Structure 1
Amino acid sequence: MVAARLFHDDDEPRLALGERYEYTLKTKSGDVVCHNYSTPSHMPDSPAPKPHFRVVGDRTPTPKDKEQAKSVALSPSRSKIRRHRSPPPIKWLPGQYESSEEKTPKGPTVAQLVRTILEMHKEHKKLSDQVAKSALELKALRMIMRLFITVFAPR
């Protein structure tokens, strides 16, 4: 057999989208045995191939894992928290309520709480500045101490 390259004839069917002519097999007498075509592994119209990657540290769920997940999803959710011991009774401070009929606790208003928070922010900033100044003074004192030690150290 001899392989010869042929050009496309009008009598033969046209190539499909993405196909490429490779070669034709002929006998010694010139009879055509077959035409070979190739198609690329990824055609433009076909969906993109799945990416090949491996996640390290994870594992694929086994059938048993899938059954457990399904049973957990189907089980009714518990609305009650179970405790071994009951919580201690709540005891109110005497005089916290004005009367037994009215159950509103006495305490600061929202405006008073906001004012207190702003004062605390200012105090915190002032104390942070004092700590920074003290740290600088301490660093300077340590440098002076090292200088005295190097100058007056016995040799």
Structure 2
Amino acid sequence: MRIAELVLDFVNVLAWPILVLVVLLVFRSQVRALAARLASFSGPGVSATFHEASKEAAALVKENPPTKPGPQPSRSTRRYEVTSLSESALFGHAFRSGRDIEIDVAQASLSEGLKIISFASGLVFGAKGSLERVSDKRLLLRHLGPSDDESTKVG
């Protein structure tokens, strides 16, 4: 019995050092990169400062410039929260009258949402407009301007 207690005490003493060692081994490349940026380190309360990687960040931005943000509704865009196909006539009339429309189908069931999106795509196709995804369940129906319309003509 005494040996079992000694083994348990020994395991309790070594548990945290072993855990730290395993974490360091698993994340060794990240720890190595972090250690390379270490400028100073101080004691018991633990304080560390790191070199800024601004030159690397600037180079990355230069190589991969930020992309243009997704479609944003204009102030004249009317927003509709649509839950069923029968409500589609509301935004359909508004779109046909010349307004850009943002529809939100987040509250619609999957089958109703698909029907609403099918209706919206047909509406946009018939008006020679564009249908753009704003977020997961929000779409923007836009009328194409004169310059946009010329680029879509075939022949």
* Between structures 1 and 2, the one with greater helix share: 2
Larger radius of gyration: 1
TM-score (norm 2): 0.20
Higher share in strand: 2
Q: Quick one: higher RCO (CA 8 Å, sep 6+), 1 or 2? A: 2
- Normalised TM-score (structure 1): 0.20
